[in-house]
Structures are given as C-alpha cells and as structure tokens.
Structure 1
Amino acid sequence: MQDIIQGLMVWAVTLTGYQQPVEPPSVEAVTHQQLVKTLCDDQFCTAVAYYDTKTQTIYHDERMQLDLDQSARGFIVHEMVHYLQDLNGELVPEEMSCEQRIEKEQEAYRVQRYFLREHRQPTFQLDLAVSVLANVCKNTKAID
C-alpha cells in the first residue's frame, strides 16, 4: 500500500508544482459512519475521504479499494493536494475566505480530474461538483 501512496504523491506534486514533501501524509481507512459523523454531523452524506489539517492525515472510507480502483485513488490524490497546500501554508480554513477555500478545492478537483482522465475513468461527478463550487460563495452571501 505504501507504494500506491508514494505513487499518488508523485501525481499530486507533479500536477501542482508544490515541492515534494519529505514524508507523505498518513492515510487511514475509517468506517463510512465515522466519515458521516465527522464531516456531516451524523446526517446523510456521500463523503468518501477528507484531509485533517490537525493530524496531517487523510481519512478514507474503508470500503474503498485503493489497491484495485483508480477512482478511489483519485480521491486520495485530491486529498494529497490539500496536504501539499497545508504544508505550503495555503490551507488555514479558519483564516480563509469562502473564495479562498473554493480556490483550493478547485485546485484539488483539477488534479483529481486529470488523474482520472489519464486512467480512463469518468469525471462527470467531478465536473458537476466543480460547477456547483463556482456558486457556493454567492449562495452563502445571499443567505447571510
């Protein structure tokens, strides 16, 4: 598994231009229920992975088969971009504006989409997510 993680880090570094870190992030499998509890306050959601800036760990749904599934690896590449952003001082959620957070998310999606296309995997869900992101800050301001 460590070879897969190292290979995915190479993808993230190559496609972002960030410097290669000394160590990749920790990558840990957790139950889907744990993801839902952490990310969605125990409400239904489709989350499959996230990067925790406090522990510098990528958590992913234990049902993901990283050794077999390129789509699953794409989610890890996405989270590795966030790890690289964090190492470069660009990912400080509590200090970032909505627009800055969206910009970082778009970078991670861009890398994930490129990775998936290179591995001949569909990207329509990512394309939809990116199109929705473009309006998140506008919609948030309308609610405030």
Structure 2
Amino acid sequence: MQELINSLLVWVVASTGYEQPVELPRIEAVTHQQLIQTLCNDQFCTAVAYYDSNLQTIYYDERMQLTHDANARGFIVHEMVHYLQDINGELAADEMNCEQRIEKERQAYRVQQHFLQENQQSTHQIDLAVTLLGKICQHLD
C-alpha cells in the first residue's frame, strides 16, 4: 500500500507543481459510519474521503478498493492535493474567504479529473461537483 501511496503522491506533485514533500501523508481507512459522523453530523451523505489538516491525515472509506479501483484512487489524489496545499501554507481557513476556499477545492477537483481521464474513467461526477461549487458562496452571502 505504501508503494501505491508514494506513486500517487509523485503523480500529484507532477500534476500540481508543488514540491515533493519530505513525508508522505498518513492515510487511514475508516468505516463509512465514521465518515458520516465526522463530515455529516450523522446525516446521510455520500462522502468517501477527507483530509484532516490538524492531523495531516487522509481518511477514506474502508470499503474502497484502492489497489483495484481507479475511481477510489481518484479520491485519494483529490485529498493529496489538499495535503500539499496544507503543507505549503495555503489552507489557513481562518484567513480565507469563501471564494478562496472554493478555489482550493476546484484545484483538487481539477487534479482528480485529470487523474481519472488518464485512467479512462468517467468524470461526470467531478464536472457536476465543480459546477455546484460555483454556487456555494452565493448561497452563503
């Protein structure tokens, strides 16, 4: 698994222009229920992975088959972008406005989309997510 994580990080670094970090992010499988509790306050949601900047750890749904599923690896790629943003000082949430936070999310989606395209996977859900991102800040104003 460590070899897979390393190769994904090398791919993300090459795709983003960030420098190769000294350390790999921690990556941990958790139950879907844990994801729902953490991200959705025990309400139904479709989340399968997230990056915790306090712990510099990527958590993913244990049901995902990272070694066999390019779509699953795409979620890890997305979260690795957030890891690189974080260690480069770009995720100071208290200093960013809504549009700046959304731009960081867009960057992660663009890299994920590129990864999926290279692996001959559909990007329809990514297209939809990016479209919806543009409306989030409007609803918060």
**TM-score, L = length of structure 1:** 0.96
What residue is the counterpart of 2:54 in the other structure?
A: 54
| Residue 21 (structure 2) pairs with residue 2 (structure 1) | no
Distance 1:22 1:3 in 2: 15
Give, in angstroms, the shift of residue 34 of structure 1: 0.3
Alignment of 1:1-144 (within 5 A): 1-141=1-141
> In structure 2, what is the Cα distance between the partners aligned to 1:12 and 1:39?
24
Cα distance between partner residues in 2 of 1:78 and 1:102: 14
Q: In structure 1, what residue type is equivalent to 2:82?
A: H
For 2:57 and 2:93, locate their aligned partners in 1 and report how far apart those are by CA, in whole Å.
16
Structure 1 position 11, deviation (Å)? 1.4
Mark the runs of 5 or more structure 1 residues left unpaired by the alignment: none
Q: Unaligned stretches of 5+ in structure 2?
A: none
Partner deviation per Cα, 1:71-94 (whole Å, 9 max, x = no partner): 000000000000000010001123
Alpha-carbon distance, 1:106 to partner: 0.2
Instruction: Count residues with an aligned counterpart.
Output: 141
One-letter amino acid of the counterpart of residue 107, structure 1: Q
Distance 1:94 1:66 in 2: 33
Give the AA of the match of 1:33: Q
Letter in 1 for 2:53: T
Q: CA deviation at 1:95?
A: 2.4
2 CA distance for matches of 1:68 and 1:119? 12
Helix, strand or coil at the partner of 1:134: helix
Q: CA deviation at 1:136?
A: 0.8
Tell me how far apart the structure 2 counterparts of residues 36 and 95 of structure 1 sit (CA, whole Å): 27
CA offsets 1:45-66 (integer angstroms, 9 cap, x no match): 0000000000000000000000
- Give the share of equivalent positions with the same residue, in percent: 67
RMSD of aligned Cα (Å) = 0.6
Q: Secondary structure at the match of 2:29?
A: strand
Q: Give the secondary structure class of the aligned counterpart of 2:51.
A: strand
Q: In the TM superposition, what whole-angstrom CA distance separates every residue of 1:2-46 from its partner, at most 9, and x where no partner exists?
A: 011001101110111000001110000000000000001111000
